[in-house]
Amino acid sequence: MKTRVLFLCLALIFSGTQVFAQLSKKEKKEWKKKAKEFAKNPANLKTLVETKQVVENDNSALKGQISSLNNDVSNKSAKIAELEDQIAKMRSELTSTKAELAQLKEAPPINPMDFSKGVVFKVQIGAFKNKDLAKYFDNNPNFGGEATDKGEQRFTIGVFRDYWEADKFKKYMRDMGVKDAWIVPFKDGQRVEIKDVLEGVVADKK
């Protein structure tokens, strides 16, 4: 029985390795002595085996944790790469925006009294024949007119970017006795139909 326990001790201590074969004579003698001690006290051998099993289980659990941590690191590395890519795109957009802003700063200032571009609204006060007031148009930006195919002259007063301000002025003119006052829109200097700019007018009102 003791012999079997002795061999069992040696097998447990050196299982899976060739360490025992590589020991010196002195080391072999010492380990044989320890094996005999375990043979005399199987309880110690049981404790050793159980401790070895606990260590192996702990080692397996730690390997699992390491694998999980490696996966977390890999995922976080991928997330970092994605965020760095987003940052690079944002920096590119910022650079582009700064360039556009620089161009706008270098552009000549817009004259607030230049109504030749965009949509404006004027209040027409009437259309008359044999009344040519064109000589007054140049020095009076708020007073204008245009000839029609019928030989009439249409006269307008006021220039507004906001339709509702033009509408308010139209009402003032009617209260003052100009019953035919009404709003006419212009786009880039050309007279257009109100329906062509009505969508923008309604959006502004909202």
Six token digits for residue 91: 């920096």
Question: Which pLDDT band, with edges at 50, 70 and 90, does 52 fall under?
Answer: confident
Mean pLDDT along residues 143-162: 82
Residue 180 domain flag: yes
Residue 26 domain flag: yes
Q: How far apart are CA 107 and CA 80, in angstroms?
A: 40
Residue 7 domain flag: yes
Residue 76 domain flag: no
Residue 158 domain flag: yes
The CATH number of the domain holding residue 185 is 3.30.70.1070
Residue 62 domain flag: no
Check pLDDT > 90 for residue 32: no
Residue 13 domain flag: yes
Tens of pLDDT, residue by residue over 97-110, are 988 888 877 766 65
Share of the chain above pLDDT 90, in %: 22
Q: Which residues contact residue 20 at a Cβ distance below 8 angstroms, ignoring those fewer than 6 apart? A: 10, 13, 14, 28, 31
Q: Domain of 16?
A: 2-40
Mean pLDDT along residues 163-186: 92
Check pLDDT > 60 for residue 204: no
Check pLDDT > 50 for residue 16: no
Tens of pLDDT, residue by residue over 69-81, are 998 898 999 999 9
Q: How many domains does the chain have?
A: 2
pLDDT of residue 43: 79
Residue 130 domain flag: yes
If one compares 113 and 123, the residue with the highest pLDDT of the two is 123
Ordered strands of the 119-129 beta sheet: 143-147, 152-160, 119-129, 182-187, 190-191
